Each structure stands twice: as C-alpha cells, then as structure tokens.
Amino acid sequence: MEAKYFDLSPPPRPVPWSLRLAMLLTGGSSFAGWFLLDAGLLYRWLLLRQAASRLGPVGARFVVATALGVIVVALWLIGSGLKRNLSALRLLRNGKLAFGKLVDKEVASWKSERHGGDNGPLETGTEWGYARRHAASWRLRFEFLAEDGTTYQPERIVWRDPAALLDEKYERIVYNPAAPWSARLMDELGPGIGIDPVGRLYFRGGWGGSLLVLFSAALVAASIPLALMVLWH
C-alpha cells in the first residue's frame, strides 16, 4: 500500500482553543453528560420545592432517588467523555498523521439478540445494509505505513454507523510513534478537526458546530447555579 502523509507542522503542534472547546464539550459522551446533569439538577430542584406539601414522604424519596440516579449517570458520562477527549487532544497535538486503508469490517455486537447473527466479516451488500440498521458496535481494521516503514493494522471498536467514518477511499489515521498499534481514525477524535495547507489545525465546524459548542458551554455554565440551588434547598 502506498503511504501518504499530510504536510503538518512537527509535533508538538498547537491546537487552537476553538478546536479544544469543541472536542472537550461536544466530543464523545460529554454533551449528553452535561445535558443529563442539568436535567437531573433541575428536576430535583423543581420537584423538591413541592415535595413536602404535595408528594408526601414516599414521593419525595422517589424524586430524590430518581434525580440522584440521573446525576450519577451524567457524571459518569462527563468523566468518561473528558478522559476520552483529553486523550484525543494529546494524540492530535503529538501524533503523526498518515492515510490508512480499511482492510476488514465486522459487527462487534448487536442491539438485541433478535437481530443478532454470527459476528464476522460482511460479505455482501445485503448483509452490510442489515448490519448498519441493527448493529450496536463495529470492529474496523485499517492498514497504514508508519514513519519507520513498518505496516500496522490497528483495530478500532466504534459505536456509530461506520459509514460516516468510511467516507473516503483512504482514511486519515493519527498514531503515536511510540505505540503505532493504538492508532485512531481522525474522524473519531472529535468534531470539526481541520488542517490547512500549511499544516496548522483549525476548527471547521461552521455555524452549526459553533452553535453546538456555545450551547454546550451554556450547559456547563448552567450546572453551577443549578447545583447551588439544589444544595441550598
């Protein structure tokens, strides 16, 4: 396979704050986590204000338990998303880029046993279409040539329709020269990652991406007064 490389500035390369915020606030499970956290805090504050007079002791305990459950799930999503996004930022800042070619794709897990089948390579277009509708996760294997001349075939488990990741004949691969077998697809690192002709990184989310980042920032900011209102109740 012929290797192709981007003309990037050498690592460590700067990552603009607009791109950092987009990756930290909207990448992975971060957005869903902040949304659930605000919803859980608001739910607890609004209902507990009337719990004593209308809901009674049992209703109040149910409200507290439900809200705490939502908040715990939200904090787990935020924590796992933050860990993933910080790792992606480090790789984007210090990693090498190359073009990788898909050599194998298969279903890693199904949404339910009713839709499930034997996990393995997809041989026909019909199998591919069925799997796209009913698969929960995918195992993708790419091949790329590292800077040292060695060919690697890293595997990635993705929890989204892989068609969005496989939109080009050759996919951009980001890898750590010290551990090239852990390479990741550029498309899965985060939203809006762009590279200009001189190799600098920039945020290319457009108006839609910018609005999503602003909305995510508003969710983060709103969680502080909501948490204080719950604590002071």
DSSP per-residue letters across 186-226: HHHH-TTEEE-TTS-EEE--HHHHHHHHHHHHHHHHHHHHH
- Rounded to an integer, the average pLDDT of 107-135 is 57
- Rounded to an integer, the average pLDDT of 124-136 is 59
> Which of residues 94 and 141 earns the better pLDDT score?
94
> What residue has token string 């945020």?
203
**139: nearest Cα among 163, 107, 168:** 107
Token pair of 82, please? Answer: 């933050």
Compute the 3-state secondary structure of the chain and give helix, strand, coil in percent, each to the nearest 5. 50, 20, 25
Q: How far apart are CA 231 and CA 45, in angstroms?
A: 9
- Rounded to an integer, the average pLDDT of 91-105 is 85
Q: How far apart are CA 185 and CA 44, in angstroms?
A: 40
> Which of residues 50 and 17 earns the better pLDDT score?
17
> What residue has token string 């990756």?
23
pLDDT of residue 4: 42
Whether this prediction's pTM lies above 0.75 is answered by no
pLDDT band at 129; cut points 50, 70, 90: low
pLDDT of residue 133: 65
> Which of residues 178 and 119 earns the better pLDDT score?
178
Task: Collect all residues with Cβ–Cβ distance below 8 Å to 157 and sequence separation of at least 6.
Answer: 108, 137, 138, 139
The answer to which of 108-122, 178-192, 194-208 has the lowest mean pLDDT is 108-122
Q: Is the pLDDT of residue 104 over 50?
A: yes
Token pair of 177, please? Answer: 């020269």
Q: How far apart are CA 127 and CA 109, in angstroms?
A: 15
